[in-house]
Structure 1
Amino acid sequence: MNSNIPAFHYFDNEIFSQESDKLFKRIWHFAGFKSDFLNDNDFVTLKIANTPIVVQNVRGNVKSFLNVCSHRFSIIQQDKSGNRPMVCPYHGWAYDKDGIPSGIPKKPLFKKFTKDELCEMKLKEFKVSFCGDLCFVSLIDDVEPLQDFLGVFYEELETMSLSLGNRIDVNSMEIEANWKVIVENTLESYHVGLIHSETLAKLEPSGLDFCFDKSNSSWTSNLNIAKDKGGYKKIDKYFSPREYDIEGYKHILVFPNLLVSSTHGVSFNYSLVEPINPDVTKFTSYVFTAATDSIPTPIIIKAFEESLINFNRQVFEEDKAVCQLVQQGAKHTHLSGKLSDEEERVHHFQKTYLGYLNNES
């Protein structure tokens, strides 16, 4: 198969701008987990298509607003996450559950605002939807329902998310590569033998058990680690019974930039790939173990968690290095590249991506 995306798509500024307008502004974007919004005023901030967004628990409801004060345009919530009311740190303007200014310091010094005028200063609100414990935000009102967007993977993603226990690691890094290079790297195992020879390759993932539905895709693979044998048997037993229990490895792409994987339903990884500019991407990995009622945590499980963290971090460092080399090389070729059967998910991702850029999706 020929690669669908020409090399200049990985570094061209005009293409990057089109991706913001034609892709990221038109879809559901992963924003966090329900555990990020347990308490009143819990919030996370992010950028979608370079638009600053805050997602916040406001009196028990998770809402999303433009993170820009209506008064003098300061960013309101300035940390990546936290717990504080929606109060601008510049002049102290406060906002209610609907994003309408509800507290204005030295209010008599302003003209008397009518109710309609206050409503006109309402923070722009965005749609929020959940799949289990996964929170998604869309910048447009007429986006398709989240369940339709996730398609055949909705129920599995829901079950996986409701099976999450301890969040044992959050690993965030900047990678000097285009976001598509990073996504495509995760969609194929062709590189595993060379790039991950001392890590992932030792698990011997293999096969072409792919599933495609609309924009999304998955890969299921056996591993050489059996759940009920050797040292893994105690780990499997500790996390049993569990809602999400599979043999081997499952990897799902939620188009275009959320990567969800699980090994045996015991461990889970959620990786978000966020474009910064054509040559730099923010990569954030969240690692969980499955929920369990077993207490206390035995030494073998603590050791398993530590090894899982170290394993994931090493794999992602290996991927970071090779993705940066790809980014460098893409600027010096006119070729489009070739894809093997093992890279069919890359082909599907590229085809879907071009559909958005060509206004076909």
Structure 2
Amino acid sequence: MLARPAALTAADYRDPARLEAERRALFARHWQFVGFTDELSTPGSWLVREIAGEPVLVQDFDGELRALRNVCSHRFARLRAGEAGTDGGPLRCPYHGWTYDRDGVPVGIPGNRECFGLDREGKRALSLKRYELDRVGRFLFVRVMPGGPPLADWLGPQAGLLAALSDGMSAPFSQEAQPWDANWKVGVENVLEVYHVDAVHPDSFRTVVDGSWRVVPSGPHSVGYAGIRPEALRWWEGAGKRLGLMPVDALADVEGYVHLLLFPNLAIGVTAGRMMSVQTLEPTGPDSFTLRYRLCLANAREGASKAAMAAVTSHLAALNSQLLAEDRAVCAAVGAGLRHVDGAALLGVNEDRIRHFHDIIQGQMADTIP
């Protein structure tokens, strides 16, 4: 028999203790993509993410980006509400007005002399926890547990591809954060194979890819390659000519669809070298995660028709919405089914990329969990 049982059992998806162990072993230890530097291009702009249960604030302080814990050290209110902002104001707690500098030190404490008597060292002792922050091109990453390899070493050869995508892609034309009803691993597994495309996406993704599939492991990461149907390739060539979209240099010789998984939960799909879909799958519970996506087009020539650009991006956003709705429904069905079984899934050879993903998870868990 060619097929073999998966390394993970149903209990590995639904057990709350398992999720907490994964947060420590997989999400806290490794670099997590939090956004593009484009989102923090104005002084004082900020974004908030939760990584391995940690509330992380990334903010621009006069051109310097810092990652700090989004919790006031006085009475523990959240410093920034929401997911992003461009207000440009100082980092001030909304509860009592404590104000923090770029190092996370509370430099402004209302009534300090009369009520607290904190000197410089006393203030420094109350500094916000700081996290490691690094970037490749416009891709911005945070690591909440100190130590481990530098970002470039962790990404390996894929760092060059991210840099090329940064140079070749424009700002997102569509983005959203969606709640999904499944374990985060179900969502990742769904993007690691094209076996489901005929059944789940007959009128969406199946109109783009031709069914071929080749996978190349890359350390803990992996890359999948699919061919594009001739009619879809002609559409992209036409759109490219109308808008002056130039394929990303690193993918200029790849006419198909390239899908990169950066372990554990960053998925990047590039279609015909001219559109990039960036997805993170962020666990929120044993049977839920947030899928956060961004769609970017290759850089267009100056003076490209705004009407043509609007027509192309509207079409692509609608196709992406349909595809995600189909995946969201089938992942919810898998999430519901996992509550009623105890064994492992059966993986065919066309799902070996999932097997690689499981092997990396199990190896990382064994390295860190007693």
Q: TM range, normalised to the smaller chain?
A: over 0.9
Q: Distance in 2 between matches of 1:46 and 1:220?
A: 30
How far the C-alpha of 1:341 sits from its partner, in A, is 1.8
Letter matched to residue 138 of structure 2:
D
CA distance in 2, matches of 1:111, 1:154: 48
Find the counterpart in structure 2 of residue 167 from structure 1. 172
Report matched runs for 1:96-115 at 5 Å. Answer: 96-115=101-120
The equivalent residue for 1:308 is 316
In structure 2, relative to structure 1, the CA distance for the partners of 1:345 and 1:78 (3 Å cut) is: same
Could you list the runs of 5+ residues in structure 1 that have no partner in the other structure? none
How far did residue 242 of structure 1 move? 4.5
Structure 2 counterpart SS, 1:197: coil
Match of 2:85 in 1: 82
Give the Cα–Cα distance (whole angstroms) in 1 for the partners of residues 354 and 302 of structure 2: 40
How many residues are treated as equivalent by the alignment? 360
Q: What is the CA-CA distance between 1:226 and the residue it aligns to?
A: 6.2
CA separation in 1, counterparts of 2:230 and 2:165? Answer: 20
State the alpha-carbon separation in 2 of the partners of residues 360 and 43 from structure 1: 32
CA distance in 1, matches of 2:274, 2:244: 7
Counterpart for residue 9 of structure 1: 12
Contact 1:76 1:88 in 2 (8 A): yes
2:259 aligned with 1:236 = no
Conserved? CA contact 1:126–1:137, under 8 Å = yes
Shift of 1:68: 0.6
Give, as a single letter, the amino acid of the residue that structure 2 aligns with 1:279: D
1:247 deviates by 0.8
Q: Deviations over 1:67-89 (max 9, x none)?
A: 11011110001120002321111
Q: CA deviation at 1:58?
A: 1.1
TM-score, scaled relative to structure 2 = 0.93
How do residues 262-281 of structure 1 correspond to structure 2 at under 5 angstroms? 262-281=270-289
Match of 1:40 among 38, 43, 54: 43
Partner of 2:189: 184
The CA RMSD measured in Å over matched residues stands at: 1.6
Query: Percent of pairs identical after alignment?
Result: 28
Residue correspondence of structure 1 range 1-361 to structure 2 within 5 A: 1-83=4-86, 84-225=89-230, 229=234, 231-237=235-241, 238-244=243-249, 245=252, 246-359=254-367
Residue type at the aligned position of 1:41: G
CA distance in 2, matches of 1:221, 1:228: 12
Q: Decide whether aligned partners of structure 1 residues 107 and 295 sit closer, same or farther in structure 2, where only a CA change above 3 A counts.
A: same
Structure 1 CA distance for aligned equivalents of residues 74 and 219 of structure 2 = 42
Distance 1:44 1:298 in 2: 29
Structure 2: runs of 5+ lacking an equivalent: none
Q: Which amino acid aligns with 2:116?
A: K
Alignment deviations for residues 163-218 of structure 1 (CA, whole Å, 9 cap, x no partner): 22141111221111000000000101000000001111122333332111111001
Change (3 A) 1:2 1:74: same
Amino acid of the structure 2 residue aligned with 1:51: E
Name the CA distance, whole Å, in 2 between partners of 1:76 and 1:55: 12
Distance (whole Å) between structure 2 residues aligned to residue 232 and residue 217 of structure 1: 25
- TM-aligned CA deviation for residue 158 of structure 1: 1.4
Q: Specify the code of the residue in structure 1 equivalent to 2:123.
A: L
2:72 maps to amino acid: C
| Cα distance change of structure 1 residues 22 and 204 upon mapping to structure 2, 3 Å threshold | closer
**Alpha-carbon contact 1:75-1:88 (below 8 Å) kept:** yes
Structure 1 225/120 Cα, relative in aligned 2: closer, same or farther at 3 Å? farther
The TM-score normalised by the length of structure 1 is 0.96
Shift of 1:17: 1.1
Q: Distance in 1 between the 2:210 and 2:188 partners?
A: 18
Q: Which moved more, 1:298-307 or 1:251-260?
A: 298-307
> What does the per-residue CA deviation read over 1:17-57, in whole Å, with 9 as the maximum and x for residues that have no partner?
11112221111011110101111111100101111000111
The CA deviation string for residues 214-252 of structure 1, in whole angstroms up to 9 with x for no partner, is 1100111110146874x4333122234444333111100
